[in-house]
A = this chain, B = another copy of it.
Amino acid sequence: MSDLGALLWPRRVALIGASADGESLRGRIFNVMRGHAFGGELYPVSRSHREVLGLKAYPSVADLPRPVDLAVIIIPAKHVAEELERCGNAGVKSAVVLSSGFAESVGAEGSQMQAEVRAIAKRYGMAVMGPNSEGFANVAANLCPTFSPAMEAGGRALLPVGRPRPQLAVCAQSGGMGFAFFDHGRAKELAFRYVVTTGNEACLEALDFADFILEEGKTDALLLLLEDIKTAETFRGVAEKALRAGKPIIVNKIGQSDAGVRAAASHTAALAGAYAAYQAMFQRYGIIEGRDIGEMVDIAAGFLAWRTRLPRGRRVGICTASGGGGGWMADACTAAGLEVPELDIETRQRIDVHLPSYGTSQNPVDATAQAAAKIGYAGLAQLVLPSPMIDALAVVMTARSPHNIERQREALAHLAEVAQKPVLLWSYTLPAQRSVAILSEAGLPVYTDIGNCTRTLRLMADYRDLRERFLRPIEVGSACAGAAAAVREALAEAAASLCEWEARPLLARYGIGTSAVGTLSATADEAVSALASIGGPVALKVQSPDILHKTEAGAVALGLTTREDVRAAYTHVLANARRHAPKARILGVLVQPMAERGREIILGVKRDQTFGPLLMVGLGGVAVEVMKDVALAPVPLRADEARAMLARLKGVRLLDAHRGAPAGDVEALVDLMVRLGKFASDHADVIAEIDLNPVLVHARGKGVSVVDALIVKGTNSPPLIASGGG
Taking Cβ atoms with an 8 Å cutoff, the residues of A that contact B are 100-101, 104-107, 110, 132, 149-150, 172-177, 179-180, 183-184, 187, 225, 227, 252, 254-257, 291-295, 321-325, 327-328, 330-332, 334-335, 356-358, 368-369, 398, 400-401, 428-430, 448-451, 622-623, 625-627, 650-651, 653-654, 656, 658-659
B653 and A177: CB pair below 8 A?
no
Within 8 Å by CB of A327, from B255, B292, B449, lies B255
CA distance A317 to B698 in the complex (A): 50
A325 and B174: CB pair below 8 A?
yes
Q: A173, A227, A449: which has the most chain B beta carbons within 10 Å?
A: A449
Distance (whole angstroms) from the CB of A642 to the closest CB of chain B: 21
Q: Given A177-B322, A650-B650, A291 and B358 touching (CB < 8 A)?
A: no
Q: Given A106-B357, A357-B106, A626-B658, A325 and B176 touching (CB < 8 A)?
A: yes
A100 and B625: CB pair below 8 A?
no
Q: Given A430-B183, A625-B658, A104 and B323 touching (CB < 8 A)?
A: yes
Distance (whole angstroms) from the CB of A507 to the closest CB of chain B: 25
Residue numbers in B under 8 Å from A107 (CB-CB): 357
Residue numbers in B under 8 Å from A627 (CB-CB): 650-651, 653-654
A294 and B449: CB pair below 8 A?
yes
Within 8 Å by CB of A321, from B172, B176, B254, lies B176
Distance (whole angstroms) from the CB of A106 to the closest CB of chain B: 5
Residue numbers in B under 8 Å from A428 (CB-CB): 176-177, 180, 293
Residue of chain B at shortest CB distance from A182 = B429
Residue numbers in B under 8 Å from A105 (CB-CB): 356-358
Residue numbers in B under 8 Å from A398 (CB-CB): 149, 176, 180
Within 8 Å by CB of A256, from B183, B255, B322, B334, lies B334
Q: Given A183-B400, A323-B174, A257 and B622 touching (CB < 8 A)?
A: no
Residue numbers in B under 8 Å from A369 (CB-CB): 176
B430 and A291: CB pair below 8 A?
no
Q: Given A104-B358, A626-B656, A327 and B254 touching (CB < 8 A)?
A: yes
Distance (whole angstroms) from the CB of A387 to the closest CB of chain B: 20
B321 and A401: CB pair below 8 A?
no
Residue of chain B at shortest CB distance from A173 = B324
Q: A321, A324, A332: which has the most chain B beta carbons within 10 Å?
A: A324
Residue numbers in B under 8 Å from A656 (CB-CB): 626
A622 and B654: CB pair below 8 A?
yes
Residue of chain B at shortest CB distance from A397 = B176
Q: A187, A292, A334, A449: which has the most chain B beta carbons within 10 Å?
A: A292
B254 and A328: CB pair below 8 A?
yes
Within 8 Å by CB of A430, from B184, B321, B331, lies B184
Residue of chain B at shortest CB distance from A400 = B149
Q: Given A176-B324, A627-B651, A357 and B291 touching (CB < 8 A)?
A: no
Within 8 Å by CB of A451, from B292, B334, B335, B401, lies B292
Within 8 Å by CB of A334, from B176, B257, B324, B334, lies B257
Distance (whole angstroms) from the CB of A620 to the closest CB of chain B: 9
Within 8 Å by CB of A176, from B322, B330, B332, lies B322
CA distance A325 to B255 in the complex (A): 11
Residue of chain B at shortest CB distance from A401 = B149
Residue of chain B at shortest CB distance from A147 = B369
A324 and B401: CB pair below 8 A?
no
5 interchain residue pairs of minimum CB distance = A174-B324, A176-B322, A254-B327, A105-B358, A180-B428
B149 and A252: CB pair below 8 A?
no
Q: A255, A257, A323: which has the most chain B beta carbons within 10 Å?
A: A323
Distance (whole angstroms) from the CB of A281 to the closest CB of chain B: 18
Distance (whole angstroms) from the CB of A256 to the closest CB of chain B: 5
Distance (whole angstroms) from the CB of A605 to the closest CB of chain B: 22
Residue numbers in B under 8 Å from A175 (CB-CB): 322, 324
CA distance A175 to B369 in the complex (A): 11
CA distance A651 to B624 in the complex (A): 11
CA distance A391 to B255 in the complex (A): 22
Show 25 A/B contacts (Cβ-Cβ < 8 Å), sorted by A: A105-B356, A107-B357, A150-B400, A172-B324, A174-B322, A174-B323, A174-B325, A175-B324, A176-B321, A176-B398, A177-B322, A183-B400, A183-B430, A225-B324, A227-B324, A254-B324, A255-B331, A257-B331, A291-B451, A292-B332, A292-B451, A622-B658, A625-B659, A626-B653, A626-B658
Residue numbers in B under 8 Å from A100 (CB-CB): 358, 368
CA distance A332 to B429 in the complex (A): 27
CA distance A484 to B192 in the complex (A): 71
Residue of chain B at shortest CB distance from A256 = B331
Within 8 Å by CB of A291, from B149, B450, B651, B659, lies B450
Residue numbers in B under 8 Å from A401 (CB-CB): 149
Residue numbers in B under 8 Å from A324 (CB-CB): 172-177, 225, 227, 254
CA distance A659 to B621 in the complex (A): 10
Residue numbers in B under 8 Å from A132 (CB-CB): 358
CA distance A627 to B368 in the complex (A): 39
Distance (whole angstroms) from the CB of A712 to the closest CB of chain B: 21
Residue numbers in B under 8 Å from A650 (CB-CB): 627, 650
Distance (whole angstroms) from the CB of A86 to the closest CB of chain B: 25
A257 and B330: CB pair below 8 A?
yes
A328 and B654: CB pair below 8 A?
no
Distance (whole angstroms) from the CB of A508 to the closest CB of chain B: 29
Distance (whole angstroms) from the CB of A453 to the closest CB of chain B: 9
CA distance A635 to B100 in the complex (A): 61
CA distance A146 to B104 in the complex (A): 58
B292 and A450: CB pair below 8 A?
yes
Residue of chain B at shortest CB distance from A320 = B176
Residue numbers in B under 8 Å from A622 (CB-CB): 654, 658
B252 and A328: CB pair below 8 A?
yes
Distance (whole angstroms) from the CB of A607 to the closest CB of chain B: 25
B335 and A291: CB pair below 8 A?
yes
Distance (whole angstroms) from the CB of A278 to the closest CB of chain B: 12
CA distance A254 to B366 in the complex (A): 15
Within 8 Å by CB of A332, from B225, B291, B449, lies B291
Residue of chain B at shortest CB distance from A360 = B106
Residue numbers in B under 8 Å from A626 (CB-CB): 651, 653-654, 656, 658
Distance (whole angstroms) from the CB of A551 to the closest CB of chain B: 8
CA distance A500 to B183 in the complex (A): 66
Q: A101, A357, A401, A429: which has the most chain B beta carbons within 10 Å?
A: A429
Residue numbers in B under 8 Å from A356 (CB-CB): 101, 105
Residue numbers in B under 8 Å from A651 (CB-CB): 623, 626-627
CA distance A450 to B187 in the complex (A): 17
